[in-house]
Structure 1
Amino acid sequence: MVKSWLFEIFSYPYDPDPAKFDPQLCKELYDWKLESWVAAEDQGFDGVFFSEHHFTPYSISPSPNLLVATLAQRTTRMHIGVMANITAFHNPRRLAEEGAMLDHLTGGRLEVGLGRGVDEPEFIREGVKMEETRARFEESVALIQAAWKEPTWSFHGEFYNYENVGIWPRPLRPELPIWVTALSPNTVAWAAKNNFRFTSVFSPTEQMRTIFDGYKKAAADAGREAQPSDMGVCRNVFIADSEQEARDLAEPAFNALFAAFKEAAVFHDLDNVPAGYEHYQSFFRPFAGDDVSFDALVAMGAICVGTPQTVRDQIVDQIETIGCGNFLNWGSFGNLTKEQTMRSYQLFGEHVAPALRSLNV
């Protein structure tokens, strides 16, 4: 069985000039997005993951845990989480407390996503040294797990120190599922060693398979057998009633997303990235210029677009190649409207989700 999730970057698709921010348009955007997430529960989606980004219209979800709490009150079955809370931007004790609260508020449907972060402009504006992110990340995760498991605990690390404290409440469940966003081999191996699930985005299908093979090897070295449910692949998806309609709507929408992504996420100088991010030089280089076409991204599997049958076949082929058990549908992007987005979600739920559910990977 392969689970189907929605993934939301949640961009502000209007004028990017801060002086021209329109609160009414933003309110309408929040309203119809929430409507689409609620509808997803009846459309066959297993859950929703929100994202965390800051300082640009690329995302208006700086505090995604609020979206988790909101959606939890309007749904009963779907699992809900964040992919991912960026640990360097938070006190991990606070993340542990919020996670525990959300586990209760969701009735045990919370999925915890944590990441060290990779978007250089955000770290520059926040004043956090990227060279410290891996150490902060690993220390934060260890602290969060201790806070969830122990009635009282002490923690003494490089960045955080607590003596004989406890959090109230602790989670509803004794073990919360932890996901991490991972592309670099070091993070993938670390996730496998710690029995964390992980997701990746944008990489070609064959490269995704190699990444998962690395995860399985690291899990085996740690004494456990990795399962398909340990990995998810995230793709931009748009479905319409005809191939031409899907292409005509998806291409400009993705181009708008791509432009915002380059501004918000890509390193300014790929020849001189912070220590610990060398892997991302090759990953980001195609996105730094204008040489990645829509057709090329479709060919490499990063975008799945077309009729329900076309997209179903594209995704099934990717899942079988990669061997993963979770598919994250990043289906609301760029300037796609409410009607276009919700029609795409409906078609995915009717034609793609059942095919994934029946797969045995």
Structure 2
Amino acid sequence: MVKSWLFEIFSYPYDPDPAKFDPQLCKDLYDWKLESWVAAEDLGFDGVFFSEHHFTPYSISPSPNLLVATLAQRTSRMNIGVMANITAFHNPRRLAEEGAMLDYLTGGRLEVGLGRGVDEPEFIREGVKMEETRARFEESVALIQSAWTEPTFTFKGEFYKYDNVSLWPRPLRSELPIWVTALSPQTVSWAARQGFRFTSVFSPTENMRTIFEQYKKAAAEAGREAEPTDMGVCRNVFIADSEQEARDLAEPAFDALFAAFKEAAVFHDLENVPAGYEHYQSFFRPFAGEDVSFDALIDIGAICVGRPETVRDQIVSQMEQIGCGNFLNWGSFGTLTKEQTMRSYQLFGEHVVPALRSLKV
């Protein structure tokens, strides 16, 4: 069985000039996005993951835990989480407290996603040194786990220190599912050793398979057997009633997303990235140029576009090849309207969700 999730970056698709920000357009966007997430439950999706970004119209979800709490009150079955809270931008004690609260507010449906972050412009504007992010990330995760499991905990780290304190409340469940966003080999192996699930995005299907093989090897070395449910693959997805309609709508929408992504995420100088981010020199290089074609992205599996049967077969093939148990549908992006997005979600629910649910990986 492969689970189906929605993944939401939540871009502001209008004029990117801050002086021209339109509160009413923003309100309308929040309203219909919430409507689409609620509808996902009826369409058979297993859950929704939000994201955290700052300072640009690439995302208007700077505090995604608020979205988790809001959606929890309008749904009853789906799991809900964030992929991911960027630990360097938070006090981990506060993240632990919010996670515990959300476990109650979701009725035990919370999925915890944590990441060290990779978007250089955000770190520059926040004044956080990227060279410190891995140390901060691993220390934050350790502190959060201590706070959740120990009635009273003491923590002495490089960045955070607590002496004989308690978390009120601790989570509803004795153990919360933890996901991390992982592309670099070091993070993938670390997640495997910790027993955390992980997700990846944008890489070709064959690369995704290699990443998961690395994860399984590290898990085995740590004394456990990795399962298909340990990995999630995120893809941009758009489905319409015909191949041509899907292409005509998805290509300009992806171009708009790509432009925003380049501005918000790609390192400005790929020859001189911060220490610890060397892996991303090769990962971001295609996005730094102007030669990433829509067809090339389809060919490597990074985006799935077409009629329901076409997209179903693309995704099923990828999941079988990777051996992965979770598919994240990043289906609302760029210039896609409410009607176009909702129709795509409907077709995904009717044609892709059942095929993934019956798939053995």
SS at match of 2:183: coil
The corresponding residue for 2:95 is 95
Mapped to 1, the partners of 2:83 and 2:166 lie a distance apart of 26
The corresponding residue for 1:36 is 36
Partner AA of 2:61 in structure 1: S
**How many Å apart are 1:89 and its aligned residue?**
0.1
Partner AA of 1:144 in structure 2: I
The corresponding residue for 1:109 is 109
The corresponding residue for 1:83 is 83
Mapped to 2, the partners of 1:143 and 1:223 lie a distance apart of 23
**How many Å apart are 1:346 and its aligned residue?**
0.2
Structure 1 length-normalised TM: 1.00
The corresponding residue for 2:186 is 186
Partner AA of 2:84 in structure 1: A
SS at match of 1:7: strand
The corresponding residue for 1:319 is 319
**How many Å apart are 1:51 and its aligned residue?**
0.2
Mapped to 2, the partners of 1:26 and 1:137 lie a distance apart of 32
Partner AA of 1:227 in structure 2: E
The corresponding residue for 2:163 is 163
Mapped to 2, the partners of 1:166 and 1:61 lie a distance apart of 30
**How many Å apart are 1:55 and its aligned residue?**
0.1
- Per-residue CA deviations over 1:129-180 (Å, capped at 9, x if unaligned) read 0000000000000000000001110000000000000111000001000000
**How many Å apart are 1:197 and its aligned residue?**
0.1
**How many Å apart are 1:3 and its aligned residue?**
0.1
1:293-308 correspondence runs (5 A): 293-308=293-308
**How many Å apart are 1:326 and its aligned residue?**
0.0
**Is 1:291 matched up with 2:273?**
no
**How many Å apart are 1:285 and its aligned residue?**
0.3
**Is 1:237 matched up with 2:237?**
yes
Partner AA of 2:328 in structure 1: L
SS at match of 1:4: strand
Partner AA of 1:243 in structure 2: E
The corresponding residue for 2:277 is 277
**How many Å apart are 1:341 and its aligned residue?**
0.1
Partner AA of 1:120 in structure 2: E
Partner AA of 2:3 in structure 1: K
The corresponding residue for 2:69 is 69
- Per-residue CA deviations over 1:263-295 (Å, capped at 9, x if unaligned) read 000000000000000000000000001011011
Mapped to 2, the partners of 1:146 and 1:291 lie a distance apart of 47
**How many Å apart are 1:210 and its aligned residue?**
0.1
Partner AA of 1:30 in structure 2: Y
The corresponding residue for 1:352 is 352
The corresponding residue for 2:144 is 144
Mapped to 1, the partners of 2:309 and 2:249 lie a distance apart of 18
- Per-residue CA deviations over 1:240-276 (Å, capped at 9, x if unaligned) read 0000000000000000000000000000000000000
Mapped to 1, the partners of 2:290 and 2:300 lie a distance apart of 16
Give the aligned CA root-mean-square deviation in angstroms.
0.2
Mapped to 1, the partners of 2:324 and 2:146 lie a distance apart of 29
SS at match of 1:295: helix
**Is 1:200 matched up with 2:200?**
yes
SS at match of 2:233: strand
- Give every structure 1 segment of 4 or more consecutive aligned residues whose post-TM-superposition deviation is greater than 4 Å: none
Mapped to 1, the partners of 2:283 and 2:177 lie a distance apart of 28
Mapped to 2, the partners of 1:230 and 1:251 lie a distance apart of 31
Mapped to 2, the partners of 1:38 and 1:286 lie a distance apart of 35
The corresponding residue for 1:262 is 262
Mapped to 2, the partners of 1:13 and 1:219 lie a distance apart of 41
Mapped to 1, the partners of 2:19 and 2:199 lie a distance apart of 36
